[in-house]
Amino acid sequence: MRTTIDAAGRVVIPKVLRERLGWGRGGEVDVDERDGVVEIRTASRAVVVERPDGRPVLSVDGDVPVLTDEETRDLLEHTRR
């Protein structure tokens, strides 16, 4: 998809992509450049916190969708590959 850069240097992300990625107004993204290619990714929001008993617990800032059991199994299987 082609888009434009305005006078302030802002790039318009097409609506179809913003919707697909769940990006809304005020959302944070990470921007990097590698070998002349600009990468824009959803900002990481998860952090691992260790409890006093030594077990790690995943803590997330903000609203995130709850994964179903099936989505969790698929994610685990994909990660194992």
Return all residues near 39 (Cβ < 8 A) that are at least 6 apart: 30, 31, 32, 33
Residue 60 in this model has a pLDDT that exceeds 80? no
Distance in angstroms (rounded) separating the CA atoms of residues 57 and 35: 36
**pLDDT value, residue 46:** 66
Distance in angstroms (rounded) separating the CA atoms of residues 73 and 28: 28
Question: For 20-44, how does the pLDDT look when each residue is reduced to its tens digit (9 = 90+)?
Answer: 888 888 888 999 999 999 999 988 7
| 3 state SS for 5-28 | ECCCCCECCCHHHHHHHCCCCCCC
Tell me the pLDDT of the chain averaged across its residues: 86
C-beta separation of 24 from 18 below 8 A: yes
